[in-house]
């Protein structure tokens, strides 16, 4: 009995209790460290040199969902966190989701009121695709593709010197980007040609045989190149005596084959006043009749299938602005909006369903806003093969 009491009193002494508390704290800290991510630390500089966090505890689809809502500049930072996030941000499905969740931005050519001091850095915007812009240097006439969000650029080989129409398109069926250049060796006779450049696989432009629709009895009045969906259309407006007629050569971007079409004579009475534009991925033609714009959509150019009903766009919003109707030119339809250009002054989006103007783009620093090269699209993370950082 004495021995038992002695043991009890020894274990109950202040020194023994202190030892027990230290042991409990040590065990608790050890258990806590097991639950925390391990961080390697440089003892000399006390800087964290690597992180081995329990990233696998967060499902990849949740990470994708969170990162897809971030602006491009923050995603570029997040991809440096770990290899998993770096790979994720370069995945085509993530890039597509990211683009679908961000507001569109507008790019356009303008003539500034005060010319810049260094004209060597001036660019002319040709067109855009998936957040990337096809530009031309004014000083050297060199073409390049630039992603302003990621600050990456790709210099392109020189196209035909007489190129008058160039397009930049994504081909979903093959997952590649292609540029098409339509050129003219003789403007009077209309000797057109065509060449293609596939980004990432072609080192130079490839010439393909362009169908000839030349007729000695017809005089070419104008020619328009429109990219719509997976095709590029070249529309020629010819004049025979006092009548106008339209001929179209369409290039399928996947097969790189042409289809020639003679437009129906009764479609429009005067083709000279008809606009050709991209209507949600389909070629369409628009003409102004009094205070409305009538649009007919070519739903399938291969089968020459037209939309069952023409689309009527009322121009009642122009009543409050004198002479606006005469300066109004439709550009393209996208996501329920029809974009217009008011000659030299501004661009705006007209919502077809509500009949209201959604967006107006003007530039007080520009003496003139040009129609050519206007592009509307979201910022993107796309990095094409061969792209290099933009030099400062």
List, for residues 240-266, the tens digit of each pLDDT value. Answer: 777 777 889 999 999 999 999 988 877
Residue 84 reports pLDDT greater than 90: no
Overall average pLDDT of the 76-84 stretch: 87
Q: What is the pLDDT of residues 32-79, one digit of tens each?
A: 444 444 434 444 444 443 444 444 578 888 888 888 898 888 898 888
Q: What is the pLDDT of residues 29-43, one digit of tens each?
A: 544 444 444 434 444
Question: Model pTM greater than 0.85?
Answer: no
Average pLDDT score over the chain: 80
Tell me the percentage of the chain whose pLDDT exceeds 70: 78
Q: What is the pLDDT of residues 349-364, one digit of tens each?
A: 999 988 888 888 888 7
- 311-348 core/surface letters (b: 16 or more CB in 10 A; e: else): bebebebbeeeeebeeebebbbbbeebbbbbbeeebbb
Q: Highest mean pLDDT: which of 1-5, 33-37, 121-125, 238-242?
A: 121-125
3-state DSSP of 70-94: CCHHHHHHHCCCCHHHHHHHCCHHH
Residue 1 reports pLDDT greater than 50: no
CA angle 368, 338, 165 (to 5 degrees): 60
**pLDDT band for position 158 (cuts 50, 70, 90):** very high
Confidence (pLDDT) at 218: 67
CA angle 231, 371, 249 (to 5 degrees): 25
Partners of 51 in beta bridges: 39
When computed from its CA atoms, the radius of gyration of the chain, rounded to whole angstroms, is 31
Partners of 289 in beta bridges: 292
Q: What is the pLDDT of residues 295-335, one digit of tens each?
A: 999 999 999 999 988 999 998 877 767 677 778 899 999 98
């Amino acid at each position: 009995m004495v021995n038992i009491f002695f043991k009890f009193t020894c274990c109950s002494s202040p020194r023994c209790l202190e030892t027990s508390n230290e042991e409990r704290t040590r065990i608790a800290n050890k258990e806590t460290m097991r639950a925390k991510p391990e961080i390697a630390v440089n003892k000399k500089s006390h800087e964290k040199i690597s992180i081995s966090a329990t990233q696998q505890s967060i499902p990849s689809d949740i990470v994708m969902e969170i990162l897809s809502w971030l602006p491009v500049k923050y995603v570029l930072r997040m991809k440096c966190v770990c290899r998993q996030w770096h790979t994720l941000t370069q995945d085509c499905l993530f890039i597509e989701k990211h683009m679908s969740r961000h507001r569109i931005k507008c790019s356009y050519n303008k003539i500034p009121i005060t010319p810049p001091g260094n004209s060597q850095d001036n660019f002319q915007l040709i067109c855009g695709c998936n957040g990337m812009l096809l530009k031309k240097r004014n000083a050297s006439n060199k073409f390049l593709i630039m992603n302003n969000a990621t600050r990456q650029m790709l210099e392109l080989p020189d196209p035909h010197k007489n190129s008058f129409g160039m397009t930049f398109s994504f081909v979903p069926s093959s997952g590649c980007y292609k540029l098409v250049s339509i050129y003219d060796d003789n403007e009077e006779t209309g000797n057109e040609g065509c060449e293609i450049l596939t980004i990432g696989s072609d080192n130079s432009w490839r010439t393909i045989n362009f169908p000839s629709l030349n007729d000695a009895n017809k005089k070419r009045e104008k020619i328009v190149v429109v990219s719509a969906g997976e095709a590029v259309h070249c529309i020629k407006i010819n004049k025979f005596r006092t009548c106008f007629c339209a001929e179209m050569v369409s290039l399928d971007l996947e097969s790189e084959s042409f289809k020639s079409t003679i437009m129906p004579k009764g479609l429009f009475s005067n083709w000279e006043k008809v606009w050709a534009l991209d209507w949600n991925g389909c070629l369409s033609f628009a003409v102004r009749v009094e205070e409305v714009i009538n649009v007919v959509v070519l739903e399938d150019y291969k089968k020459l299938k037209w939309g069952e009903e023409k689309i009527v766009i009322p121009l009642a919003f122009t009543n409050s602005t004198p002479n606006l109707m005469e300066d109004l030119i439709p550009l393209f339809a996208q996501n329920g909006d029809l974009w217009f250009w008011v000659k030299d002054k501004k661009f705006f989006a007209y919502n077809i369903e509500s009949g209201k103007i959604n967006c107006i783009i003007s530039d007080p620093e520009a003496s003139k806003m040009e129609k050519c090269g206007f592009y509307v699209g979201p910022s993107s993370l796309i990095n094409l093969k061969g792209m290099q950082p933009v030099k400062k």
